[in-house]
Amino acid sequence: MSYPSKHLLAIEGLEPPHIADLLDLAESYALLNRSGKTQRDLLKGRTLINLFFEDSTRTRTSFELAGKRLGADVINMSVSTSSVNKGETLLDTASTLNAMQCDLLVIRHAQSGAPALLSQKVDAAVINAGDGTHEHPTQALLDALTIRRHKGSLQGLVVAICGDIAHSRVARSNIHLLTTMGSRVRVVGPPTLIPADAARLGVEVFHDMKAGLKDADVVMMLRLQRERMSGGLVPSAREFFRFYGLDAEKLAVAKPDSIVMHPGPMNRGVEIDSAIADHPTRSVIGEQVEMGVACRMAVLDVLARRLPRNR
């Protein structure tokens, strides 16, 4: 079943075969990347623009590398957050991009729905690289690929997503992807960081971390942003670490061969203990980054196939 859209704006709405196809393709790119025979000309003559309205090193670099490995001309546009509080800029930017004849547009924006709005106004294929508290679809794909490489399949796995679920686009995309692929998803966090009607998304909600981690195959930690504490949602970092930070004691209740993930960047000592983050066998955080490039290559490949031949 071929990928159904011109854009990749969200995981929600994708069917299992779409996701499986993307993961299979990403897997082949992962093998190719490891073999060192990386340079390809699939996107030769295509322009890829990384349009980042929020700071990001990891995701932007990952897309940049993916585009270059496929032969695209890659341009990074970092728009300082101070100048874009007015949304006219977003649509002004759209007309600029159309004039530049951009083929593939990767966008990160602090507002939920901003990539969807832009996709209505630009000719390019739009890839959501994180929008507000909505979705971060390529993160979910790279997480799924990492899990699949360790566990063989996503079907029936128990995945515990822990921390600030309410404000996490990573959590939303992962919930949609993993439940679609047959995993059993738990969300773990204090009630102030669990969104309304979370159970309606097809997950089990836990406020006690050990109960949530019990017999889990995968433990996925999320970044706790500092402003959540100033906003009163969590009283303090030390209290958060005591009850919801991942340390050896809490991890002991998960399956002995469970893996630990984090989308980065980590707050060591807030949501994750360094000993766990750097654990040689349990932590797959480094591999997530590697799979990120492969997944983004797969997404660019699939979307480029739907682009008009020449423009």
CA dist., res. 89 & res. 125, Å (int) = 19
CB 184 within 8 A of CB 170: no
DSSP 16-81: HHHHHHHHHHHHHHHHHHHHT-----TTTT-EEEEEESS--SHHHHHHHHHHHHTT-EEEEEEPPG
Helix, strand, or coil (residue 105): strand
Number of residues that bind other proteins (CB under 8 A): 25
34 is written with which tokens?
């490891």
Strand partners for 127? 8, 106
Is residue 133 part of the contact set for other proteins (CB under 8 A)? yes
Phi, psi of 128 (to 5 degrees): -80, 115
108 in contact with other proteins (CB under 8 A): no
Whether residue 58 is annotated as binding a ligand: the answer is: yes
- Indicate which single residue of 56, 76, 111, 225 sits in contact with other proteins (rule: CB under 8 A): 111
- Number of alpha carbons in the 13 Å side-chain half-sphere of residue 220: 28
Sole window of 114-122, 203-211, 255-263, 286-294 interacting with other proteins (rule: CB under 8 A): 114-122
Closest approach of other proteins to the CB of residue 30, in Å: 29
Tell me: does residue 197 bind other proteins (CB under 8 A).
Answer: yes
One-letter amino acid identity for 46?
A: R
Candidates 41-49, 62-70, 86-94, 210-218 — which segment interacts with other proteins by CB under 8 A?
86-94
Sole binder of other proteins in the list 42, 79, 201, 229 (CB under 8 A): 201
Q: Which of 114, 122, 251, 261 binds other proteins (CB under 8 A)?
A: 114
In the chain, count of helices (H) and strands (E)? 12, 9
Does 233 participate in binding other proteins (rule CB under 8 A)? no
User: What does the DSSP assignment read for 161-203?
Assistant: EES--TT-HHHHHHHHHHHHTT-EEEEES-GGGS-TTGGGGT-
Query: Cis (ω within 30 of 0) for the bond into 235?
Result: no
Q: Which amino acid is residue 236, in one-letter code? A: S
The verdict on 186 binding other proteins (CB under 8 A) reads: no
From candidates 64, 131, 271, 301, binder to other proteins by CB under 8 A: 131
**Alpha carbon of residue 97 to chain centroid:** 24
Q: Does 109 bind other proteins (CB under 8 A)?
A: yes
| Pattern 154-173, other proteins, x by CB under 8 A | ---------------x--x-
139 is in an annotated binding site: yes
Query: Smallest gap, in angstroms, from Cβ of residue 110 to other proteins?
Result: 9
Q: Which is nearer to other proteins, 87 or 182 (CB)?
A: 87
Tell me: does residue 227 bind other proteins (CB under 8 A).
no
Taking CB under 8 A as the binding criterion, the range among 112-120, 212-220, 246-254, 293-301 that sits at the site for other proteins is 112-120
Stated length of the chain: 311
Structure tokens at 130: 């994180």
Tell me which of 76, 112, 179, 225 binds other proteins, using CB under 8 A: 112
Beta strand 184-188 with 204-206: parallel, antiparallel or unpaired? Answer: parallel
Q: Which stretch binds other proteins (CB under 8 A): 56-64, 104-112, 243-251, 276-284?
A: 104-112
Q: Strand, coil or helix: what is 139?
A: helix
Residues that bind other proteins (CB under 8 A): 12, 87-88, 90-91, 109, 111-114, 116-117, 131-135, 169, 172, 195-198, 200-201
- Which residues are annotated as part of the binding site for L-aspartate? 86, 169, 223
- Which residues are annotated as part of the binding site for carbamoyl phosphate? 58-59, 108, 136, 139, 264-265
